Amino acid sequence: MVTRTEDLIPHRSPLLAFIARWLLTTNHKEIGTLYLWLSFTLFFIAGAMAMVIRLELFQPGIQFVQPLFYNQMVTMHGLIMVFGVVMPAFVGLANWQIPMMIGAPDMALPRLNNFSFWILPFAFTLLLSSLFMEGGAPNFGWTFYAPLSTTYGPPSTDFFIIGVHMMGISSVLGAINIMVTIFNLRTPGMTLMKMPLFVWTWLITAFLLIMVMPVLAGAVTMVLTDRHFDTSFFSAAGGGDPVFFQHVFWFFGHPEVYILILPGFGIASQIIPTFARKKLFGYHSMVYATASIAILSFIVWGHHMFTSGMPLMGELFFMYATMLIAVPTGVKVFNWVATMWRGSLTFETPMLFALGFVILFTIGGLSGLMLALVPADFQYHDTFFVVAHFHYVLYPGAIFGTMAAVYYWLPKWTGHMYDERLGKIHFWTAVIAVNLTFFPMHFSGLAGMPRRIVDYSPQFVDFNMVSSIGSGLLGLSQVLFLYIVIKTIRGGEPASTRVWEGAEGLEWTVPSPAPLHTFETPPPFPPVMESDVNE
Partner 1 sequence: MSPISSRLKNGLILSVLWGFSHTAFAAAYDLREGVTEMSRRIQGLHHLSLGVCVVVGVIVFGVMFYSIFAHRRSRHPKSADFHESMAVELVWTVIPILILVGMAIPATTALIDIEDNSDADLTILITASQWKWHYQYIEADIGYYSNLATPTAQINNLEPKGEYYLLEVDNPLVLPTNKKARFLMTSNDVIHSWWVPDFAVKQDAIPGFINEAWTRVTKPGLYRGQCAELCGKDHAYMPIVVEVRPEAEFDKWIDDQRLARELASGQAVADREKEWTMAELMPIGEQVFLSNCATCHEPDGLGQGTTYPALAGGEIAIGPLEVHLDRVMNGKADTEMQAWAPQLSDRELAAVITYERNAWGNITADVVQPRTIYAAR
What is the closest distance, in whole angstroms, from the C-beta atom of residue 170 to partner 1 in the complex? Answer: 28
Q: Long-range contacts for 152-161 (Cβ within 8 Å, ≥24 apart)?
A: 153/223, 153/227, 156/130, 157/223, 157/227, 158/224, 158/227, 158/228, 159/126, 159/127, 159/129, 159/130, 159/133, 160/79, 160/127, 160/130, 160/220, 161/220, 161/221, 161/223, 161/224
What is the closest distance, in whole angstroms, from the C-beta atom of residue 247 to partner 1 in the complex? Answer: 13
What is the closest distance, in whole angstroms, from the C-beta atom of residue 395 to partner 1 in the complex? Answer: 18
What is the closest distance, in whole angstroms, from the C-beta atom of residue 418 to partner 1 in the complex? Answer: 20
**Among this protein's residues, is 307 annotated catalytic?**
no
**Among this protein's residues, is 254 annotated catalytic?**
yes
**Among this protein's residues, is 39 annotated catalytic?**
no
Cβ distance to partner 1 smaller for residue 168 or 440: 440
Cα Rg, the chain, nearest whole Å: 23
**Among this protein's residues, is 380 annotated catalytic?**
no
**Among this protein's residues, is 304 annotated catalytic?**
yes
Report residue 494: phi and psi, to 5°.
Answer: -65, 140
Is the omega angle on the peptide bond into residue 147 within 30 degrees of 0, that is, cis? Answer: yes
Q: Long-range contacts for 156-163 (Cβ within 8 Å, ≥24 apart)?
A: 156/130, 157/223, 157/227, 158/224, 158/227, 158/228, 159/126, 159/127, 159/129, 159/130, 159/133, 160/79, 160/127, 160/130, 160/220, 161/220, 161/221, 161/223, 161/224, 162/126, 163/123, 163/124, 163/126, 163/127
- Tell me which of 106, 158, 348, 377 is the catalytic residue: 106
**Among this protein's residues, is 171 annotated catalytic?**
yes
Residue 223 to residues 231, 245, 426: CA-CA distances in angstroms? 9, 9, 42
Cβ distance to partner 1 smaller for residue 154 or 266: 154
**Among this protein's residues, is 332 annotated catalytic?**
yes
Cβ distance to partner 1 smaller for residue 332 or 416: 332
- Tell me which of 158, 226, 256, 504 is the catalytic residue: 256
What is the closest distance, in whole angstroms, from the C-beta atom of residue 393 to partner 1 in the complex? Answer: 14
Instruction: Tell me if 50 sits within 8 A of 78, measured CB to CB.
Output: no
Cβ distance to partner 1 smaller for residue 67 or 214: 67
User: What value, to the nearest 5°, has the Cα angle with vertex 402 and ends 473 and 518?
Assistant: 140
Cβ distance to partner 1 smaller for residue 33 or 444: 444
Question: Which residues have CB under 8 Å from 318's CB, separation 6+?
Answer: 299, 300, 301, 302, 303, 306, 310, 374
Instruction: Tell me if 205 sits within 8 A of 89, measured CB to CB.
Output: no
Cβ distance to partner 1 smaller for residue 162 or 359: 359
**Among this protein's residues, is 134 annotated catalytic?**
no
- Tell me which of 28, 29, 186, 303 is the catalytic residue: 303
- Tell me which of 25, 170, 383, 496 is the catalytic residue: 170
- Tell me which of 254, 389, 412, 498 is the catalytic residue: 254
**Among this protein's residues, is 391 annotated catalytic?**
no
Cβ distance to partner 1 smaller for residue 27 or 75: 75
Question: Which residues have CB under 8 Å from 92's CB, separation 6+?
Answer: 32, 33, 34, 35, 36, 38, 39
Cα separation, 440 vs 462, in Å, equals 9
What is the closest distance, in whole angstroms, from the C-beta atom of residue 254 to partner 1 in the complex? Answer: 18
Short-list 147, 145, 127, CA closest to 136: 127
Question: Which residues have CB under 8 Å from 428's CB, separation 6+?
Answer: none
- Tell me which of 329, 362, 437, 444 is the catalytic residue: 329
What is the closest distance, in whole angstroms, from the C-beta atom of residue 502 to partner 1 in the complex? Answer: 8
User: Which residues pair with residue 494 across a beta bridge?
Assistant: 416
What is the closest distance, in whole angstroms, from the C-beta atom of residue 493 to partner 1 in the complex? Answer: 20
**Among this protein's residues, is 194 annotated catalytic?**
no
Short-list 298, 322, 302, CA closest to 312: 302
**Among this protein's residues, is 228 annotated catalytic?**
no
Report residue 416: phi and psi, to 5°.
Answer: -120, 145
**Among this protein's residues, is 170 annotated catalytic?**
yes
Instruction: Tell me if 57 sits within 8 A of 65, measured CB to CB.
Output: no
3-state secondary structure of 383: strand
Question: What is the enclosing helix (H) or strand (E) of 153?
Answer: none
Q: How many CB atoms lie within 10 A of CB 132?
A: 9
**Among this protein's residues, is 518 annotated catalytic?**
no
**Among this protein's residues, is 258 annotated catalytic?**
yes
Cβ distance to partner 1 smaller for residue 232 or 429: 232
What is the closest distance, in whole angstroms, from the C-beta atom of residue 243 to partner 1 in the complex? Answer: 6
Cβ distance to partner 1 smaller for residue 107 or 325: 325
- Tell me which of 451, 452, 493, 497 is the catalytic residue: 451
- Tell me which of 35, 96, 200, 258 is the catalytic residue: 258
- Tell me which of 28, 77, 391, 442 is the catalytic residue: 77
* Catalytic positions: 77, 106, 142, 170-171, 254, 256, 258, 269, 303-304, 329, 332, 451
